[in-house]
């Protein structure tokens, strides 16, 4: 297996949501092997930073030497660099090994606690000159541009000011107050990165995931502008499906973009499992299909993606015919119903004698609301619902045993 290698130069977050932990999770989710230069340890959770322990600069240098002698990443990102001595050590090694640097000028945690001492700002300005791109948030950009950012106009102005004074590619993250809008300048080209309004307090680690995904995409060979657009999409998903953990700002989830793909594939496989069962044992389905019976199945992932059969399952004589393929997010009746009733699995069936018998004997509950029922009747159509494919198969088996 070939994996691109990247590096994070960052601090540890004991809470696991930010810092080098967020970076490594992001690298891994993107198929990039992560190496780590630990700059410090924080005793931290979702609402506070109680202690910061700095790694001695000599030890930071030793970590660089060990990694660069062996694994040789070309791209690195920075996270918490809590003192000017640490920043100087990082700069020395980044220059020595000619590493392309994504500099995330981390200054405060989401909890509001500072992660760096005041004297770091000047050292950071030096490191900026050795960076490929810097990724300040609104607050950090205000410090670098020495102006307030209150709207889109001032966001653009601050971005231009940073680009002109530091001669470095820059993306300024507007944050939730600007509906997730970011503004970038790359090699003189101005780029607007549209966000979307996401109403959540759970954004711990969002900046780290953004700069880590940007670094991962660069390590995978993307051009800077493309890597930036992809990183924006990546972090947007990580925030959209962030985790409501802890008492403060819950962590964003860098595994989400990978999980979306995994769950889509799983939806296909689950539908295949049901279809194999029907082919092996057609009466399981035939008992709930009338003369002109036609069935389809919908499987919805945790992210609202719905897999269904393009054609459905058709009954002819005592056999069934599967009219595939299994497709994702096509607009058909059953996929709309899956969303409307927010059910994991829907199987469209007919009202048959067997179904009525099962209902009379209390084996299945029929309703129009879909609440606590096994069968929903909606707009003249009938759907067997379940939490999983096995759940559907079990219901059909129990019905047949009546």
Ligand X SMILES: Cc1ncc(CO)c(N)n1
Residues forming contacts to ligand X in the complex (CB under 6 A) are: 10-13, 18-19, 42, 44, 79-80, 106, 109, 115, 205, 207-208
Give residues with Cβ within 8 angstroms of 118, minimum separation 6. none
Between strands 49-54 and 33-44, the pairing is antiparallel
The residue (of 46 and 335) whose beta carbon lies closer to ligand X is 46
Residue with token string 């590619």: 169
- In the complex, least distance from residue 17 CB atom to ligand X, rounded to whole angstroms: 8
CB of 223 to ligand X, least distance (A): 27
Q: Are 116 and 78 in contact (CB under 8 A)?
A: no
Cβ at position 271, least distance to ligand X in Å? 40
Neighbours of 60 (CB within 10 A): 25
**11 or 254: whose CB is closer to ligand X?**
11
Q: In whole angstroms, give the CA distance from residue 275 to residue 296.
A: 10
Q: Which is nearer to ligand X, 135 or 154 (CB)?
A: 135
Nearest in space to 8 (alpha carbons), one of 94, 111, 119: 94
Judged by beta carbon, residue 180 or residue 207, the one nearer ligand X is 207
Prior bond of 325 cis (ω within 30°): yes
Say how far apart CA 65 and CA 72 lie, in whole Å.
Answer: 10
* CB closer to ligand X out of 243 and 284: 243
Cβ 400 to ligand X shortest distance, Å: 55
CA distance 166 to 124: 11
Q: Which is nearer to ligand X, 51 or 331 (CB)?
A: 51
User: Alpha-carbon distance 51 to 15, whole Å?
Assistant: 13
**Rg of the chain in Å (alpha carbons):** 27
CB nearer to ligand X: pick between 18 and 90: 18
Nearest to ligand X of 56, 324 (CB atom): 56
Q: Where are the beta strands (DSSP E) in 64-159?
A: 75-78, 100-103, 133-134
- Closest distance to ligand X from the beta carbon of 82 (Å): 9
Identify the sign of the CA torsion 151, 157, 159, 162. negative
Taking the complex as a whole, the smallest distance from the CB of residue 76 to ligand X amounts, in Å, to 15
Q: Of 207 and 370, which has the nearer Cβ to ligand X?
A: 207
Q: How many whole angstroms separate alpha carbon 167 and alpha carbon 165?
A: 6
What's the closest the beta carbon of residue 359 comes to ligand X, in angstroms?
Answer: 54
Q: CB of residue 247 vs ligand X: minimum separation in angstroms?
A: 15
Least CB distance to ligand X at residue 162 (A): 20
Q: Minimum CB separation from ligand X for residue 226, in Å?
A: 25
H or E segment and range at residue 326: strand 326-328
- Token pair in block for residue 362: 């209390």
Closest CB 238 distance from ligand X, rounded Å: 12
Backbone torsion region of residue 98, taken as left when φ is above 0, otherwise alpha when ψ lies between -120 and 50, otherwise beta: left
- Residue pair 166/133 in contact (Cβ under 8 Å)? The answer is no
In angstroms, the CA 171 to CA 181 distance is 10
Residue closest to ligand X, measured at CB: 19
Closer to ligand X at the Cβ: 115 or 267? Answer: 115
Q: CB atoms < 10 A from the CB of 220, how many?
A: 16
Nearer to ligand X (CB atom), residue 11 or residue 370: 11
At 51, which helix (H) or strand (E)? strand 49-54
Enumerate residues 6+ apart whose C-beta is below 8 A from 339. Answer: 300, 304, 306
């Amino acid at each position: 297996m070939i994996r691109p290698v990247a590096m994070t130069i960052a601090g540890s977050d004991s809470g696991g949501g930010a810092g080098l932990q967020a970076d490594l999770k992001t690298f891994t989710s993107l198929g990039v092997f992560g190496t780590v230069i630990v700059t410090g340890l924080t005793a931290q959770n979702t609402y506070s930073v109680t202690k910061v322990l700095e790694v001695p600069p000599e030890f930071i240098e030793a970590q660089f030497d060990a990694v660069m002698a062996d694994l040789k990443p070309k791209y690195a990102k920075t996270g918490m660099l809590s003192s000017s001595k640490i920043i100087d050590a990082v700069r020395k090694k980044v220059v020595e090994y000619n590493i392309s640097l994504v500099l995330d000028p981390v200054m405060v945690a989401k909890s509001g606690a500072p992660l760096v001492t005041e004297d770091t700002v000047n050292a950071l300005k030096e490191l900026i000159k050795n960076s490929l791109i810097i990724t300040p948030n609104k607050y950090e950009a205000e410090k670098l541009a020495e102006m307030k950012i209150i709207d889109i106009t001032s966001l653009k102005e601050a971005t231009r000011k940073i680009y002109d004074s530091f001669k470095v590619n820059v993306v300024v993250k507007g944050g939730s107050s600007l509906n997730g809008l970011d503004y970038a300048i790359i090699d003189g080209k101005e780029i607007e990165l549209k966000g979307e309004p996401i109403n959540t307090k759970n954004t711990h680690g969002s900046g780290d995931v953004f700069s880590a995904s940007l670094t991962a995409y660069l390590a995978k060979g993307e051009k800077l502008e493309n890597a930036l657009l992809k990183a924006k999409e990546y972090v947007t998903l990580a925030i959209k499906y962030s985790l409501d953990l802890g008492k403060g700002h819950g962590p964003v989830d860098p595994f989400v973009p990978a999980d979306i793909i995994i769950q889509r594939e799983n939806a296909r496989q689950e539908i295949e499992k049901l279809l194999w069962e029907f082919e092996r044992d057609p009466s399981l389905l035939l008992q709930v299909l009338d003369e002109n019976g036609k069935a389809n199945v919908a499987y919805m992932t945790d992210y609202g993606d719905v897999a269904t059969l393009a054609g459905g399952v058709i009954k002819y004589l005592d056999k069934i015919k599967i009219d595939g393929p299994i497709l994702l997010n096509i607009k058909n009746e059953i996929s709309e119903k899956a969303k409307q009733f927010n059910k994991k699995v829907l199987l469209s069936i007919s009202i048959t004698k067997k179904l009525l018998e099962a209902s009379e004997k209390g084996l299945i509950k029929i309703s129009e609301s879909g609440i606590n029922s096994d069968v929903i009747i909606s707009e003249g159509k009938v759907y067997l619902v379940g939490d999983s494919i096995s759940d559907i198969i079990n219901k059909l088996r129990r019905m047949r045993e009546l």
